[in-house]
Structure 1
Amino acid sequence: MTESEILLAAYDDQMRGAPPSPPAGVAHEYDGPLLRIVGQFRGLVSGPRDLGVYGAELDRLIVRQRDYFAARGEAVEWKTRGHDTPADLVDRLRAAGFVPEDQETVVIGRTADLAVRHPVLPEGVTLRRVTAEADMRRIAAMESAVWGEDCGWLADDLTGRVAAAPDEIAVHVAEADGEVASAAWLVFREGTEFASLWGGSTLVRWRGKGIYRALVAVRAALAAERGGRYLQVDASDDSAPILRRLGFRAVTTTTPYVWTPPER
């Protein structure tokens, strides 16, 4: 097997199940081969590499998820990967009213190759691990500014996850002149060799200065201390080239297919 095939096999074996410690109010359920996560800002559905369900039976499974969240008045994301089967899953999702969002690249790196204990930062920028709700609100405000939409839900999500399992998530901010310039978090997956990198959005005026790389390095060092073997990222088109230059390998793609209830 090639290195990429080894990494993808590890991802499929270890990263498809339910996270170990859901925040208060979040539930993990199963419907046949599917994991369903309920109680987040929107629902999430994910499955194994091969669903083992085809044709009309697959259509019924899809509609069942849509109708479940419709009854709750909630949107739902069906997380697909580019190497999953059956190959017509995404066509059947579209037929049921699910709409694709931006495709991301799943990249994986070996933690030992990525850990840097003293990353280089631009002058005036400091990194800090945070746990307080007030800092999560500052992160959400920064994300809202970057993306031009209300990301207030993120503060509740991060606060809830830290409260539920403080040893399974590490949130870092890069600060300059009293403001959050960038933020990112590391999520440990207990019982696996993986930790995942999330976030990394940066205010426009602070981009291209090495902050994103520094946040990767400090989180990789923390994962190495915990004995994590792999780091995984669902990388945007902006992040993927940076991560590949740092040593991550692209192993597949992931695309969220989202159904949103009609406005009443």
Structure 2
Amino acid sequence: MHLAKPMILRQGQAMDVQALLSLYDANVRANPAPRPGRTVVREDGVVWLAGAFNFVNWWDFSASDAETVVARYAASFRSKGEALIWRVHDHDQPSVLPDLLAAAGFRANPPGTLMFLDLERQLPPSTLPGAEVRRVADLAGLDDFVAAANKAFGDTQASDRRDAYAAHLDRHDVALFVAYVAGEPVASARLETAPGQAFGQLYGGGVAPSHRGVGAYRALVAARVSAARAQGLRFLSTEARETSRPILQHLGFIPAVGETTWVLSPEFDPP
């Protein structure tokens, strides 16, 4: 699949970040792709993903309705004993939404940055001496992916999603990658794509503490850039932590807007 190049997104040689952000909102956030184990739900002017985790992707409600909608979602998920994630970008409306989420019992994670890469841009050379990056193609590779992710993030999130990942091994919309050093899986990352979307989305890039600073993260970015280009994609997007943002900027990613991920824990009662 090769998409027409949206030339409106370039001003001379510079990326038009605001136009690209508008395209991303319409192309990715308002129209997320369903995947095995993940259902797209549209209700109350909200688009959210239900599955291994519940995630609010997009919304279109007025400031006058915001308090009612947020309270309804908080009550619903708390009554089901399920967590809910609601990511708010700095340009999102209504502007009062973060205050309403906090009042409803959501708690803010450390802020991040939405970043874009123009895939026509060439990345600086990246090497990982004595190591290699492989795309996961079978269950043994998936086990390595899970092991590397658990080392990197210090939790079992990847283990919890193993079955969902397994459903994608013969598909093209999710690509999992593992970096190996001396045969040991030390880093992992994934690329998500969808038919008709101009963006590939980077997720989960993490490196085991014992192997940070040697180029594994950059090598995983390079592998996913190559895979995205092979699919004819035009841009990459990622939600970057403060630890990875400088690396991504060095590789050519452009910061677009700040974001804060708000999490409702079902066991927490609002004040």
Matched, 1:17 2:30: yes
**Equivalent of 1:65, from 70, 73, 88?**
73
Q: Please tell me the residue identity of whatever aligns with 2:88.
A: T
Alpha-carbon distance in structure 1 between the residues aligned to 2:110 and 2:195: 29
Equivalence for 1:131? 137
Q: For 1:1-264, what aligned pairs fall within 5 Å after superposition?
A: 3-24=16-37, 26-40=38-52, 42-48=53-59, 51-55=60-64, 57-114=65-122, 120-151=126-157, 152-160=159-167, 162=168, 166-262=171-267
Alpha-carbon distance in structure 2 between the residues aligned to 1:4 and 1:236: 19
Alpha-carbon distance in structure 1 between the residues aligned to 2:156 and 2:48: 25
Report runs of 4+ in structure 1 exceeding 4 Å deviation: none
- Unaligned stretches of 5+ residues in structure 2: 1-10
- Unaligned stretches of 5+ residues in structure 1: none
Greater mean alpha carbon deviation, residues 135-144 or residues 68-77: 135-144
**Distance of aligned partners of 1:158 and 1:232 in 2 relative to their CA distance in 1, 3 Å threshold:** same
Q: Please tell me the residue identity of whatever aligns with 1:17.
A: A
Alpha-carbon distance in structure 1 between the residues aligned to 2:244 and 2:55: 23
Q: Is the 8 A contact 1:128 1:172 kept in 2?
A: yes
Greater mean alpha carbon deviation, residues 251-260 or residues 139-148: 139-148
**Distance of aligned partners of 1:193 and 1:217 in 2 relative to their CA distance in 1, 3 Å threshold:** same
Alpha-carbon distance in structure 1 between the residues aligned to 2:152 and 2:27: 32
Alpha-carbon distance in structure 1 between the residues aligned to 2:161 and 2:214: 25
TM-score, normalised on structure 1?
0.88
Report the RMSD for the aligned CA atoms in angstroms: 2.1
Alpha-carbon distance in structure 2 between the residues aligned to 1:78 and 1:221: 31
- 1:118-173 residue CA offsets vs partner (Å, 9 max, x unmatched): x643322011111333433332232222223232214234223x15x711111111
How many residue pairs are counted as aligned between the two chains?
Answer: 254
CA shift, 1:115, in A, is 6.0
Alpha-carbon distance in structure 1 between the residues aligned to 2:74 and 2:163: 25
